[in-house]
Amino acid sequence: MQRLFLLLVVLLAACAPASSPQMPSATLVLHPYATPTSTPTAQQAQGLVLAWQTPLPSPTPWIYEVQAGDTLSGIAYAFGISLDELQSLNPDISPNNMPIGTKLKIPAASTHVGGASTPTPVPAPVEQIVCYPSAEGGVWCFVLVSNDAATPLENLSARVTLLDSQGEEVASGLALPPLDILPAGARLPLSVYFPPVVPVDIRPQAQLLSGILLLADDTRYLPARVRNSLVQIGALGRSAQVSGTIYLPENLPPAGVVWIAATAYDRVGRVIGVRRWQAINVLPPGGEKPFDFLVSSLAGEIARVELTVEARVR
């Protein structure tokens, strides 16, 4: 009888369903640059994006590294300070000789010259800030900004600050969009690169510095649009081939400059890559110009690509 009982217990144990392993609970990922394949959440921007009037972590001047195409006046305009103020803080820098990587001191908001003629920034929603490590030990950061206004925004810029685990500033830089304007109802990432070596345990913060609504009678930009766009994502999802045509309506001046920004997103809507394409020749009114270029991912698989076009009179 005892043997029969033991046999019955063994049989019941063998027939019982296996217990499911306990899965770890999901946590909010605030450092996508440390784990670029992790899944962000809709709350990612909270606590990371600073409002227009919010003071930055340090009231002291900080360092900006000159990038390709920068001019001293353009940097001063982007930060909302006067050119004289910027030059007075950097007396040894020649405006005509600023190699890439030149370090400029940028005055804090509290030291701005009173009464200086600076643009009034227009608040624009910031959807996310994400950072990714580069192969050489640097970091790319993207600040995704959308335009809810009825007219385009021009001269967008943001300051990105990297903080360590103690809340101390590690580095800061100027993030700029791939286009000169952000069309109404569109969104674009502002990007900045931090050279090596950047600590792993950093936390990014972003503050919009400038953004101006175009006037209704501004004729510099032309209403070009994309036609027959095609996005072909590669087999591994790490790149996408983008093609189509740009059309400029008739009865307009010819476009001397034509750009397209391709922004790559992963399946949860995080920016993972951006590239700008530029037309070589003038686009005449009523004409079309084909485009075909590649945009790559910095982390993860590309799920979709958004195209934004800009055309302006030279």
Whether 150 has a pLDDT exceeding 60, the answer reads yes
Mean per-residue pLDDT, 214-239: 93
- Domains 126-213 and 221-312 are alike in CATH topology: yes
pTM of the model: 0.67
pLDDT at 8: 39
Rounded to an integer, the average pLDDT of 156-180 is 90
Assigned CATH for 51-111? 3.10.350.10
Enumerate the domain spans of the chain.
51-111, 126-213, 221-312
Q: So what's the pLDDT on residue 162?
A: 92
Q: Give the C-alpha distances (Å, rounded to integers) separating 214 from 122, 183, 250.
A: 11, 10, 22
Class of domain 221-312: mainly beta
221-228 mean pLDDT: 95
The confidence score (pLDDT) of residue 121 equals 55
Are 59 and 68 in contact, with CB atoms under 8 Å apart? no
Select 126-213's CATH number: 2.102.10.10, 2.60.40.10, 3.30.1300.10, 3.40.50.300. 2.60.40.10
Higher pLDDT among residues 91 and 239, named by residue: 239
Gap between the terminal Cα atoms of the chain: 99
Nearest one of 303, 262, 271, 206 to 36, comparing CA atoms: 271
**Is the pLDDT confidence value at 97 over 50?**
yes
Output the CA torsion sign for 260, 266, 269, 270. negative
Q: Which of 179, 177, 173 is nearest to 189 (CA)?
A: 177
169-191: pLDDT as tens digits: 889 999 999 999 999 999 999 99
The Cα 221–Cα 80 span in angstroms is 23
pLDDT classification of 62: cutoffs 50, 70, 90: low
